[in-house]
Amino acid sequence: MYNLYHRRWWDYTGLFLNINGYVCLRSVLTFAFAALLLIYVVIPLIDKLIKKLGSKISFNLSIIIGTIMVVDLILTLLFRY
């Protein structure tokens, strides 16, 4: 992102075991913990919920969420700064 926008959104320069200020041990461990929590707790709960809702409601919900994501992408590209 730095090469594209010439800006840094995160700077880990003062933190333990950082690599040129781009990443540090704390951020890697936090991201890893969050990913494991998502994989083993959140996704199975969402899967159970989708199975209970039925296919028609799940499809409509997917369309709504997809539309929100496309609108968010368009607004992000229009108003980047």
pTM exceeding 0.85: no
Phi-psi category of residue 68: left, alpha or beta, with phi > 0 → left and psi -120 to 50 → alpha: alpha
pLDDT of residue 77: 92
Express each pLDDT in 22-62 by its tens digit. Answer: 899 999 999 999 999 999 999 999 999 989 998 899 999 99
The confidence score (pLDDT) of residue 61 equals 93
* Domain residue ranges in the chain: 2-78
